[in-house]
């Protein structure tokens, strides 16, 4: 009984620390508006999709020894957590850009900025939920947790930046995504 309690407490502390670290890492300053592309982190959506692909996981499970599979799966889950963290960080930078665009005199720009703000906030909240779960899954490999929505949410905000770029200067950013 004491062991279960200890494990639950450790997992809760780890999840809390993960959320605090994630929140601190994702803060952006006003400098992000000066040169947004300098503050962006590379996010390879296709590589991320590969890391969370159930067919790829099953292939590895079938072709590797259990201990080797757990070691590889742990690395894959940690890499997936880094991709989600990077996407959330980029969403924070894009939030700053969208907030500035929201003050435009053009209604289409304001509308595009509002959509980007809403979706970037959703992605950041999703990341706060998903990243700790990925770390827990990495600590206890064997279960199946796939944050498939992260890739879709990130691609959505990338498309919205492109749309916003048609009305507001975002060229520096779209080449960084």
User: What pLDDT is stored for residue 140 in this prediction?
Assistant: 79
Per-residue tokens: 48 = 């991320």
The pLDDT of residue 82 is above 60: yes
Torsion of CA 138, 139, 140, 141, to 10 degrees: 30
Euclidean distance between CA atoms 132 and 11, whole angstroms: 9
Report the percentage of the chain scoring pLDDT > 70: 75
> Which own/partner contact pairs does 142-145 have at CB distance under 8 Å and 24+ positions apart?
142/70, 142/73, 144/54, 144/57, 145/77
Task: Tell me: pLDDT of 64 over 90.
Answer: yes
Task: Give the chain's end-to-end CA distance (angstroms, integer).
Answer: 48
């Amino acid at each position: 009984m004491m062991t279960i309690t200890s494990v639950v407490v450790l997992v809760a502390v780890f999840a809390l620390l993960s959320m605090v670290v994630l929140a601190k890492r994702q803060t952006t300053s006003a400098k992000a508006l000066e040169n947004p592309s300098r503050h962006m982190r590379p996010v390879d959506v296709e590589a991320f999709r590969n890391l969370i692909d159930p067919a790829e996981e099953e292939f590895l499970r079938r072709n590797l020894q259990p201990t080797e599979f757990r070691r590889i799966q742990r690395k894959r889950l940690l890499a997936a957590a880094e991709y989600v963290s990077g996407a959330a960080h980029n969403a924070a930078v894009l939030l700053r850009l969208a907030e500035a665009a929201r003050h435009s005199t053009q209604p289409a720009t304001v509308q595009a900025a509002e959509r980007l703000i809403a979706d970037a906030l959703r992605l950041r909240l999703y990341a706060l939920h998903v990243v700790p779960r990925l770390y827990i899954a990495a600590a206890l490999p064997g279960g199946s947790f796939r944050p498939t929505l992260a890739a879709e949410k990130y691609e959505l905000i990338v498309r919205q930046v492109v749309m916003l770029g048609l009305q507001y200067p975002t060229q520096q950013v779209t080449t960084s995504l």
